[in-house]
Amino acid sequence: MGGVLLFCISEAAKPFVQQALNARWADGDARMFYLVESRTCPDNAEGFKEELQDVEAFSSEFIGASVQECQNWALQNWFQVNFIEQDFIAIADARSAVDNTLVVQFYGRALDPEDPVEFEGFGVLPHESDTWVEWRIEPRWACWVFSDLTHGALEMSYPVYLGLKEELTDENGVFDAAEAQRLVCGSPKELLRRRRLD
């Protein structure tokens, strides 16, 4: 399994990046993120840092970059190499330095452009194809968001993460990934009940 691209776009977020890099895949063995420091994509996975030692400094050519610049870089490089996980990126921004949250984004492609997939009670998901969907979460939940949307049962994960996104996001803009994980592991009937309640 490759790594998910992690961009640091704020100088203030640099200390937080070390914490974010501690995130591991669900099996606990491998680290999840590749820290993107250069605008030139490396030739192999060793060109990305997967961890930082205590107070280890790093540079990033994305400091001050826009979210769209990060998205465009990912779209340009995902398919150029075989060691980067596709359709997901993570961003450490100025807010990350304040509340220790991470922005994770999913590139929602149409499951079948010719025959859009409808989910009971939610309609076609994603609502728009070939667009980015964003959640702000604690880094420890990143692996579950990724795993649910890429390897989980789509009939559960798409309604939860795409259909109930607003309902599961609090007044501070933080997505309740713990509740999302509970719902994904629950029953379709509970999703429909939740949809009706909201």
Instruction: Give the residue from 21, 169, 9, 143 showing the smallest Cα distance to 85.
Output: 143
- Written as six digits, the tokens of 116 are 């859009």
Top-confidence residue, 1 or 42: 42
What is this structure's pTM? 0.92
At 196 the pLDDT is 62
Q: What does pLDDT average to over the chain?
A: 90
Instruction: Using pLDDT thresholds of 50, 70 and 90, give the confidence band for residue 24.
Output: confident
Q: How far apart are the first and last CA of the chain?
A: 37
Closest CA to 102 of 141, 152, 75: 141
